[in-house]
Structure 1
Amino acid sequence: MVDSNLSFVRSEMLQEQTPPLAERGAVKWMRTNLFATPVDTALTIFALLLIAWFLPPMIRWLFIEAVWTGPDRSVCSTVAQGGIQPDGWSGACWAYVNANFNQFMYGRYPIEEHWRVNLVGIMFVLLLIPLLIPKVPYKVANAVTFFFIFPIVAFFLLVGGWFGLSYVETPLWGGLLVTLVISFVGICVSLPLGIVLALGRRSKMPIIKMFCVIFIETIRGIPLITVLFMASYMLPLFLPPGVTFDKLLRALIGVALFASAYMAEVVRGGLQAIPKGQYEGADSLGLGYWQKTRLIILPQALKLVIPSIVNTFIGLFKDTSLVTIISMFDLLGTVRQHFSDANWASPQTPMSGLIFAGFVFWIFCFGMSRYSIFMENRLDTGHKR
């Protein structure tokens, strides 16, 4: 019997309809992120006005009025279209960067031997990229090649003196080459050494714990400039007569030890964040100290402190500029060294050179930061629903 009060019964469902424009696409994103509240709206408008005021002059100075080629500083006092501005000020002097590009990259490394540096760079990229991509197989073989075989091959190629290669002394090295060498060695040494120091500081053996505490607190208590100065000028005073070390090697040791002390505290923070139940669970399985540490504790601890580890790496990469204090010239030091070049002494060259150096540093640091975010998202499985 049909209810007389029932006027309509739906026999089929309506098809899906497109959400309103205000609830989808770019409009929804702007409403959510830029104009959600009156305060957000005011801040967005202020930011847009600031960009509109700052961006056009910057683009005009960097690109439109910039000088890209030329033999000397005379081209940097003119506008790209020709003619001198009333105040004598033109755009960026990229001609200065173009003329000194090889020295910014290689320092005073012999021009005819640049192929050796290029070959090392190609090997570095070809080994690093598969190591960073999770799905690429043979990670163990790749890691062994990258961290152990590659440094030996790079040493013989860059220094020379063997296999018919001419010897190139390290005082001739400079520019981006020195920056990458110091940062690569510092990163590869500081992480494992920092892990050992962090474990030693948490050790129950008094001598090991005291040694690690003294080392970490001493290194962290002095600036890197002091470490480099002592490694370069003070260390030879304590060596036996006739015994000496290459200045670059001393800088590498100083930077690696300095970074390892900071890395130790980063790793120790991760170790302290691991719940006690993880240790007890490992003990209940009958695992020894090293098995427990390698299989359970360290993987979790390192995952927790990935942002801090990469932050230390970025700081180390930028701190390579401090080797100028021991008369070594990385990228920034080489750029600054050419400010006194009479052929390019003009108001535009210092700013152009510093912007170029800053952009190169930013590329590497931004790359490390983005890969850190990628690894965080990939390893963030503990709280996914």
Structure 2
Amino acid sequence: MSNQNIRKWLKKNLFNTWYNSILTLVCVWLLIYAITNIFNWILNQAQWSVIQANLPLFLVGRYPAELYWRLWLVLAIILSLSIVSLAVFTQRFASRWNAILPIAWALSFPVVLWLISGGLGLQPVDTNLWNGLLLTLVTAVISIVISFPLGVLLALGRQSKLFVIRNFSILYIEIVRGLPLIGILFLAQVMLPLFLPIEFRLDRVVRGIAGLTLFSAAYLAENVRGGLQSIPSGQYEAARALGLNTVFMMLFIILPQALRAVIPALVGQFIGLFKDTSLLSIVGLLELTGISRSILAQPQYLNRYAEVYLFIGLLYWVFCYAMSLASQRLEKQLGIGKR
């Protein structure tokens, strides 16, 4: 854009009247003033030693240091699959990877959990030692993986013609959506063990994941139901004309189109679930927010709230923005939104 075009744009949009000119100058002054003060605080006043000294606690909590190699291996697996996925989305690999990639991600899921938790030849690591960002990611990913198929089943159940299945799905969705997440988390921590045999004790982390999953599934069900309702009736008629029964019609014709239509809503729900893991600190789990509170309780780090919460806010933003970018790439790959 040439200088002349820039001047025309500024005159048209920012300085077209005397009061817009004054408002523009005031806004520019406030913006410069705010940015100057923020950078002055970041560079000269903030005490970032609280982050440097407690970085392992923020990232992996009290996970044994001698077992960090397992976490590095997990990171290598995830990064490798992510790089391959990115290459597939940008059409740098052959289309056969489109079928292999979901299988690879599915197989990596139990391997990653095995490396983190131990067992089957590896030293077990108690979940009480899973803290910080590690616990946030584990609870968020497991909750997303489980709540997605559960939400799809609830959406299909709400569309079912069977009285019991339809009304059970409606009752579950409406009850859960009418309760706050923190209430469901408390119920999962206190009430869930009462429905299980005495000798079968659920871990606190498992109970937290159960609460997040049950809550998220109800909202995912409504998102998927919106996608199902957007499918034209002609698609159902065409599937029946091909001789497909209800199961195959839903599995191969209707459901893929419905999920494709609601990808933005689904990713928004996943991002919300990732941020909702911060409520686990209220029920005693030291995820990212909980470990931050325990650090701030140390006498040498009192009143370091701004530095700590700015740091964890940055971590939340990085992961949420990464999910948003992945969603945009997927939408572009599938041609969603194009007319």
What TM-score does the superposition give when structure 1 sets the normalisation length?
Answer: 0.79
Q: Which residue of 1 aligns with 2:134?
A: 177
More off after superposition, 177-186 vs 374-383: 374-383
Task: Give the AA of the match of 2:148.
Answer: L
Kindly tell me: are residues 192 and 237 of structure 1, through their superposed partners in 2, closer, same or farther at Cα, counting changes over 3 Å? closer
Q: 1:258 to 1:120 in 2, by over 3 A?
A: same
Query: In 1, distance between residues paired with 2:213 and 2:76?
Result: 24
CA 1:274–1:46 in 2, change beyond 3 Å: closer, same or farther? farther
Instruction: Give the Cα–Cα distance (whole angstroms) in 1 for the partners of residues 263 and 165 of structure 2.
Output: 26
CA distance in 1, matches of 2:307, 2:150: 39
For 2:285, what is the secondary structure of its paired residue? coil
CA distance in 1, matches of 2:64, 2:201: 25
Indicate yes or no: 2:49 matched with 1:61. Answer: no
User: Which blocks of at least 5 consecutive residues in structure 1 are unaligned?
Assistant: 1-18, 66-90
CA offsets, 1:25-80, max 9 Å, x none? x6677678x549659767655543331121011011112x0xxxxxxxxxxxxxxx
Q: 2:278·2:290 contact (CA, 8 Å) conserved in 1?
A: yes
d(CA) in 1 for partners of 2:59 and 2:246?
A: 47
Aligned pair in 2 of structure 1 residues 129, 203: CA closer, same or farther (>3 Å)?
A: farther
Residues 87-166 of structure 1: matches in 2 within 5 Å?
A: 91-132=45-86, 133-134=88-89, 135=91, 136=93, 137-147=96-106, 149-163=107-121, 165-166=122-123
CA distance in 1, matches of 2:210, 2:252: 30
Which of the numbers 281, 285, 294 marks the counterpart of 1:324?
A: 281
- Greater mean deviation of Cα atoms: 175-184 or 370-379: 370-379
Change beyond 3 A, Cα 1:383–1:157: closer
1:168-198 alpha-carbon deviations (Å, 9 max, x no partner): 1001110000000011111112222211111
Of residues 225, 229, 253 in structure 2, which corresponds to 1:268? 225
- 2:198 aligned with 1:241, yes or no? yes
Q: Residues 37 and 305 of structure 1: is their aligned pair in 2 closer, same or farther, counting only changes over 3 Å?
A: farther
Cα separation, 2, equivalents of 1:37 and 1:275: 48
Cα 1:43/1:371, change in 2 over 3 Å? farther
Is the Cα contact below 8 Å between 1:105 and 1:176 reproduced in 2? yes
Percent identity of the aligned residues? 39
Code of the residue aligned with 2:309 in structure 1: it is L
Offset at 1:221?
Answer: 1.6
Identify the residue that residue 364 of structure 1 maps to in structure 2. Answer: 319
Deviation by residue 1:315-358 (Cα, 9 ceiling, x = unmatched): 1000001111221111111111111111222x3x1110000000
SS at 1:237 equivalent? helix
The higher radius of gyration belongs to: 1
Q: 1:50 maps to which residue?
A: 30
Query: Does 2:183 match 1:226?
Result: yes
Q: One-letter code of the match for 1:335?
A: S
Relative contact order (C-alpha < 8 Å, sep 6+): which is higher?
2
Q: CA deviation at 1:378?
A: 3.4
Residues 290/175 of structure 1: CA separation in 2 closer, same or farther (3 Å cut):
same
Q: Which amino acid aligns with 1:279?
A: Y
CA shift digits 1:186-229 (9 cap, x unpaired): 11122222111111111111111112112211221212212221
Unaligned segments of structure 2, at least 5 residues: none
Cα distance, 1:275–1:329 mapped onto 2, change above 3 Å: same
In structure 2, how many angstroms separate the alpha carbons of the residues matched to 1:155 and 1:265? 30
Q: Is the 8 A contact 2:227 2:258 kept in 1?
A: yes
CA contact (8 A) 1:336 1:350 kept: no
- Once superposed, what is the RMSD of the aligned Cα atoms? 2.5
Are residues 1:380 and 2:313 paired?
no
Alpha-carbon spacing, 1:378–1:43, altered in 2? closer, same or farther (3 Å): farther
Amino acid at match of 1:158: I
- In the alignment, is the contact (CA less than 8 A) between 2:62 and 2:131 conserved in 1? yes
**What aligned pairs does 1:207-222 form with structure 2 within 5 A after superposition?**
207-222=164-179
